[in-house]
Amino acid sequence: MEKATPPPDGVYVPVPTFFKSFDKYGYKQPLDLVAQAEHTLLLARNGITGLVLCGSTGESVHMTQEERIQLISTQKKELVDNGFDKVVLMAGTASQNVDETLKTIADSKAAGADYALVLTPSYFASAGGYSEEGLRSWYVAVANDSLLPVLVYNYPAVTNNLQLSLSLMKQLATHPNIVGCKLSHGNMSHHLIISSSPEIDHSGFRVYTGLGQQLLPLLLSGPGAAGAIDGSAAYFPKTLLRIFALARKITTAGGGVTAEDWKEVHALQCAYSEAEEWVVKFGTVGIKEGVNQMLGISVGLDGGRLPFCETHVRKEFDRYRPAFEAVQEFERKL
């Protein structure tokens, strides 16, 4: 098996899934594909590299398989019909068993996805049931038969605090159908090591941070650093894209970098990081509220599907509003 091609470096948005209101439809709100398309095209017009559909932010665990595929296929069509066929689509796979993961990947490819973002299995993690060898074998089994190139998704906050070891990540990076990883945790040492280690062929294994707060330090860290897959970019895409562009200039332009470049990228990263504290605290429902507040795109009165309930989040937003408005000012100027 030849090494699969990694996704392009850049900024990806793990988009929320838009549902119609609980007040009208009860616990089984249908997808709001009109709002979804409005958001998809807004991001595409602002230059986003790609989208993650049916990931953690997308509430894939609250959706049926049919809804996941409908979401991917409709958003792919919207992109193609509006001239954005180069926008990359990653499909999330939140499953505990190999066969179901492979079925989700196959269905996602048929619907138009380009890559699979494969969340670590974790049901027995807190009970000490998983060894490094078991996790390696699980990912290898998926990658061997996956119809899409695989990115390892390491998100301890939703996987019983399971943190994949550096030795395991180095092993997985050698698989020809594993082309990168999303690291959704605050351990910058792991980001740096995985993006810099001489044991990894960085041309075939790219490292994305799951927190835009960490984009600048990641891109300064090593040759494997590829970008971000970040929730706040759902409403602040231009700011994170500008941070990416400036960081790339700093790491590739040598003497062409100016003091003004450093000043701008530090100001943008600081403001963006302050606003992202909202996401750190409130996660998916926080991102949905941010979309509602900053873009005016309706997410329904309740934001997500049960057991999500957004009422408590909306009450908290005013405390974070100044941080949001600071980044919004950058967005207006970019």
Confidence band for 8, pLDDT divided at 50, 70 and 90 = very high
232's CB contacts (< 8 A; 6+ apart) are 212, 240, 272, 275, 276, 278, 279, 287, 290
pLDDT surpassing 70 at residue 270: yes
Indicate the pLDDT class of residue 298, thresholds 50, 70 and 90.
confident
Residue 101 predicted with pLDDT over 80 = yes
123 is annotated as an active-site residue: no
315 is known as an active-site residue: no
Torsion angle, alpha carbons of 212, 214, 218, 224, to 10: -50
Over residues 278-293, the mean pLDDT reads 93
Give the sign of the dihedral formed by CA 69, CA 70, CA 71, CA 77. Answer: positive
pLDDT at site 121: 95
| pLDDT tens digits, one per residue of 172-210 | 999 999 999 999 999 999 999 999 999 999 999 999 999
- In the set 182, 235, 238, 320, the catalytic residue is 182
123-127, 130-134, 139-143, 246-250: which has the minimum mean pLDDT?
A: 123-127
Q: What is the pLDDT of residues 207-226, one digit of tens each?
A: 999 999 999 999 999 999 99
Q: Does 2 score more than 80 pLDDT?
A: yes
Catalytic residue of the set 115, 153, 208, 272: 153
Binding residues: 57, 229
Helix or strand holding residue 280 (H, E): helix 259-295
Average pLDDT of span 63-78: 97
pLDDT at 259: 93
Over residues 264-274, mean pLDDT = 98
pLDDT of residue 303: 64
- The Cα 12–Cα 43 span in angstroms is 10
State if pTM tops 0.85.
Answer: yes
pLDDT digits (tens, 9 = 90+) for 138-167: 999 999 999 999 999 999 999 999 999 999
Q: pLDDT tier at 253 (50, 70, 90 boundaries)? A: confident
Instruction: Spell out the domain ranges in the chain.
Output: 10-236
**How many Å apart are CA 75 and CA 69, to the nearest integer?**
10
Which is it for the CA torsion 8, 38, 157, 109, positive or negative?
A: negative
Q: Which CATH number fits domain 10-236: 3.30.450.30, 2.40.50.100, 3.20.20.70, 3.10.20.600?
A: 3.20.20.70
Above 60 in pLDDT, residue 301?
Answer: no
For the cut 80, the answer to whether the pLDDT of residue 309 exceeds it is no
Taking residues 292-312, what's their average pLDDT?
Answer: 78
152 with 178: CB under 8 angstroms?
Answer: yes
Nearest residue to 317 via CA among 281, 266, 267:
281
Binding annotation for pyruvate? 57, 229
